[in-house]
């Protein structure tokens, strides 16, 4: 007998008619099962009617199983539930005996949820399932795979992306997975370096560019993974090689876009995603259960690892969806219960505030309470807090009196001020959106800037970006410059700061050091340029090496600062005009310069700030280079204290992102230089 579409397929019918029933039905396995069945039927709608007779029989049996329904409904969003059910039915038809194994059931659910996404080829799902089933049975996957839940397996079975499933040289198909499984066996943490098994080559041996159609054309007979390893590629090919190698062996991994670059990440252990071949904090994830930023990856990992809270949260969301049209008051209580169950569930927040905004239309005081709740509950994840907060920005500010609007925005900053956040993000874009929401009155925007700056003045993460945004917003506007610098002075000048210049110096110094500590290149550059009127350039000239000044636009960080250090001069250390830094007295002091661009270095010029009596402080001077800032190669050493020191490196330093200068002995002494200029060819 076929399943009637109004039935719950063996699950008990739950009636949500009161606040008490909201809690009682979501907190038991039986109640959640019934709610999941109801939600699945709501989400698929009339599409269930279009299923074949055999598929409907499968769905009838599926809905009777708590485990199998939970695999499908509690493992992250499903973009097209009807498509997912069709795929799941096809998998069970193809392997009815194998899918008695609980391990294979979770793999099948992960495949169905993954291939249910738009543009993923439904007919390739069985092959992907069979690859992981057969590899697991043969003991060819990493042991970690057997411990993965369905949601975690989605980061494994998505190997190859949605466009390269054809085999024999046409893309990252199952033939590539098998080749990588058999040829790239590494400890989990070493998959972050698997990309370097393939050579970085812009042109193949025939001179064809990777950006053209003929780069791999002479090698179409080869499996794609094998030809990438033998022929090479650039960042995209290498990152897909590394990520797919991990996934082919049963280890969660993703690829991700960065500005002008493709990188990847490997999940080394539960909660520990490790970026690989990454050149920027600005990452757009190619695979994610929700959101596309690195913050969202961190948040969803935390949410899913608290599976009990996640399951209850989702059950309350299902209640709210079924109630919001017929009983919006009760739906509001269900949404509140979802957020109480798991306060860090970002999609739950987004759905809840959208409902409040569009249906409940809160009064002004209620908007203030909602905004504070969002900021407080999500304060550990400032980017996610802003993502949700921004959804209510327009209606909340429209409802609030004008004199309450800045205070409303400041609740967000007060909540995150003591939180460093899991990662860097585009905080300046959030400030810009908040400023624009206040209207075109520049005096109101400057007032907002000063208030935010005062709140964030002690923050290690948000202080420097706030000043950098203010410099960009107001510092370049002649009509606002004086007011901007005055605001800086009021916030940061101490009792003895003196004139406005001293106040600015007092503000910029710690801000620049904060940008260096945070590794924020954009803030460092903006602050460095803002201090041009305070900077004391070094007039010493030195013959450059061929190529671009790769250090320009980068960032430097000394091992310490001191009373003789003037951070406003740091920016010039990497530029032709020169600058200075001065560490405290310490053993093995150093300075690390992050180049503006990854480069093939032709040479380095190092300038001293004192070649006389104090020149001995720098000796013995050691210069090292690195691509990742972790593994260093020494390229120069001297005890001759008369500079400048020119270090030719043509052909010897083909991939450099970092340069380190240090005194290589055990004396407790100061260290200071005036310039580290790096020349060569940009690789990005």
pLDDT higher than threshold 80 for residue 550: yes
Is residue 398's pLDDT more than 90?
yes
Smallest Cα–Cα separation from 598: which of 661, 552, 550?
A: 550
Instruction: Note the pLDDT tens digit of each residue in 456-503.
Output: 877 878 888 888 898 888 877 778 877 877 777 667 543 333 333 654
Give the mean pLDDT of 524-540: 79
pLDDT range class, residue 8, cuts 50, 70, 90: very low
Q: Over 50: is that where the pLDDT of 233 sits? A: yes
Element (H, E) at 237: helix 235-248
> What does the DSSP 8-state code read for residue 16?
-
pLDDT tops 90 at residue 684: no
Q: What percent of the chain has pLDDT over 70?
A: 94
Average pLDDT over every residue of 238-254: 97
Strands of 284-285's sheet, edge to edge? Answer: 272-276, 261-269, 253-258, 284-285
Label residue 578 by pLDDT band (50, 70, 90).
Answer: very high
Task: Give the Cα separation of 345 and 310 in Å (integer).
Answer: 8
pLDDT at 424: 87
Question: Among candidates 33, 61, 36, 45, which has minimal Cα distance to 6?
Answer: 45
Please list, in sequence order, all residues whose beta carbon lies within 8 angstroms of the beta carbon of residue 160, skipping any fewer than 6 positions away. Answer: 171, 172, 173, 176, 177, 244
**Total-model pTM:** 0.79
What is the rounded distance in angstroms from the CA atom of residue 191 to the CA atom of residue 187?
A: 7
Query: Quick one: average pLDDT of 24-50?
Result: 91
Res 164: pLDDT: 53
- The predicted-structure confidence for 249-265, as pLDDT tens digits, reads as follows 999 999 999 999 999 99
What is the pLDDT, as a whole number, of residue 234?
A: 94
SS3 14: coil
SS (H, E, C) 176-192: HHHHHHHHCCCCHHHHH
Instruction: Check: CB of residue 468 under 8 Å from CB of residue 461.
Output: no
Q: Which of 2-6, 160-164, 285-289, 657-661 has the lowest mean pLDDT?
A: 2-6
Q: What pLDDT is recorded for position 492? A: 55
> 285 forms bridges with which residues in the sheet?
256
* Per-residue confidence (pLDDT) for residue 497, from 0 to 100: 31
- Both structure tokens of 567: 């951070």
Q: What is the DSSP string of 666-677?
A: S-EE--EEEEEE
Tell whether the torsion through CA atoms of 9, 15, 19 and 24 is positive or negative: negative
Provide mean pLDDT across the span 67-90.
96
User: Residue 138 — pLDDT band, cuts 50, 70, 90?
Assistant: very high
Q: What is the torsion angle, in degrees rounded to the nearest 10, for the CA atoms of residue 490, residue 493, residue 498 and residue 501?
A: -80
DSSP 501-533: HHHHHHHHHHHHHHHHHHT-HHHHHHHHHHTTT
Reply yes or no on whether the pLDDT at 311 is more than 60: yes
**Model confidence at 98: pLDDT above 50:** yes
What pLDDT is recorded for position 480? 82
Whole-number pLDDT of residue 517: 87
- Those residues whose C-beta lies under 8 Å from the C-beta of residue 326, and which sit 6 or more positions away, are none
Question: Distance between CA 672 and CA 666 in Å, rounded?
Answer: 16
CA atoms within 13 A on the CB side of 75: 26
pLDDT, greater one: 440 or 486: 440
Beta strands in 18-107 (DSSP E): none
pLDDT digits (tens, 9 = 90+) for 361-394: 999 999 999 999 999 999 999 999 999 999 999 9
Neighbours of 53 (CB within 10 A): 8
Q: In this structure, what token pair is assigned to residue 361?
A: 């239309």
Residue 214 pLDDT? 85
CB of 438 within 8 A of CB of 424?
Answer: no
User: Does the pLDDT at position 664 exceed 60?
Assistant: yes
Task: Report whether pLDDT(35) > 90.
Answer: yes
Cα–Cα distance, 119 to 581 (Å, whole number): 54
């Amino acid at each position: 007998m076929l399943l009637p579409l109004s039935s719950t397929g063996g699950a008990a019918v739950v009636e949500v008619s009161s606040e008490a029933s909201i809690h009682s039905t979501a907190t038991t396995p039986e109640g959640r099962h019934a709610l999941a069945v109801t939600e699945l039927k709501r989400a698929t709608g009339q599409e269930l009617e279009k299923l074949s007779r055999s598929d409907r029989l499968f769905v009838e049996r599926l809905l009777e199983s708590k485990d199998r329904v939970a695999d499908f409904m509690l493992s992250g969003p499903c973009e097209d539930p009807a498509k997912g059910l069709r795929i799941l039915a096809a998998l069970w038809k193809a392997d009815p005996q194998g899918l008695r194994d609980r391990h294979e059931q979770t793999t099948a659910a992960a495949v169905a949820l993954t291939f249910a996404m738009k543009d993923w080829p439904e007919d390739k799902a069985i092959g992907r399932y069979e690859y992981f089933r057969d590899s697991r049975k043969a003991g060819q996957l990493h042991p970690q795979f057997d411990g993965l839940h369905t949601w975690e397996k989605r980061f494994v079975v998505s190997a190859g992306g949605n466009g390269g499933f054809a085999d024999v040289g046409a893309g990252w198909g199952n033939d590539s997975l098998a080749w990588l499984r058999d040829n790239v066996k590494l400890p989990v943490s070493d998959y972050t370096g698997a990309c370097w098994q393939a050579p970085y080559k812009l042109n193949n041996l025939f001179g064809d560019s990777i950006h053209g159609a003929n780069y791999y054309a002479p090698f179409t007979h080869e499996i794609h993974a094998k030809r990438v390893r033998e022929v090479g590629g650039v960042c995209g090919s290498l990152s897909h090689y590394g990520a797919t190698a991990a996934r082919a062996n049963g280890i969660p991994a993703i690829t991700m876009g960065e500005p002008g670059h493709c990188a990847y990440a490997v999940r080394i252990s539960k909660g520990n995603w490790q970026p690989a071949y990454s050149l920027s904090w600005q990452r757009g994830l190619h695979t994610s259960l929700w959101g596309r930023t690195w913050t969202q990856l961190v948040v969803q990992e935390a949410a899913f690892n608290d599976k009990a809270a996640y399951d209850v949260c989702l059950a309350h969301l299902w209640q709210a969806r079924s109630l919001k049209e017929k009983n919006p008051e009760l739906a509001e209580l269900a949404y509140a219960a979802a957020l109480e169950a798991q306060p860090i569930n970002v999609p739950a927040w987004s759905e809840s505030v959208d409902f409040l905004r569009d249906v409940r239309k809160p009064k002004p005081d209620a908007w203030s309470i909602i905004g504070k709740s969002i900021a407080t509950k999500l304060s550990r994840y400032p980017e996610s807090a802003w993502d949700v907060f921004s959804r209510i920005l327009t209606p909340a500010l429209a409802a609030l009196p004008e004199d309450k609007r800045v205070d409303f925005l400041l609740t967000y900053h007060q909540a995150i001020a003591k939180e460093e956040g899991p990662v860097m993000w585009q905080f300046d874009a959030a400030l810009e959106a908040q400023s624009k929401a206040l209207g075109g009155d520049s005096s109101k925007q400057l007032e907002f800037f000063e208030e935010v700056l005062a709140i964030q003045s002690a923050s290690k993460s948000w202080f420097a970006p706030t000043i950098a945004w203010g410099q960009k917003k107001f510092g370049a506007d002649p009509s606002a410059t004086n007011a901007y610098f005055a605001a800086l002075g009021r916030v940061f000048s101490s009792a003895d700061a003196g004139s406005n210049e001293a106040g600015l110096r007092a503000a910029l110094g710690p801000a620049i050091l904060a940008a260096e500590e945070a590794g924020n290149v954009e803030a460092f550059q903006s602050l460095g340029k803002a201090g041009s009127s305070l900077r004391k350039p070094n007039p010493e000239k030195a013959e450059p090496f061929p190529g671009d000044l790769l250090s320009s636009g980068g960032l430097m960080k000394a091992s310490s600062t001191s009373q003789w250090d003037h951070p406003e001069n740091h920016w010039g250390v990497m530029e032709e005009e020169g600058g200075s830094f001065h560490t405290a007295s310490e053993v093995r002091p150093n300075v690390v310069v992050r180049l503006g661009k990854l480069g093939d270095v032709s040479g380095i010029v190092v300038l001293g700030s004192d070649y006389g009596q104090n020149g001995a402080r720098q000796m013995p001077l050691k210069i090292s280079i690195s691509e990742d800032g972790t593994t260093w190669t020494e390229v120069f050493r001297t005890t001759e204290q008369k500079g400048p020191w020119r270090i030719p490196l043509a052909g010897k330093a083909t991939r450099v992102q970092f340069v380190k200068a240090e005194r290589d002995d055990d004396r407790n002494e100061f260290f200071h230089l005036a310039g580290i200029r790096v020349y060569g060819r940009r690789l990005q």
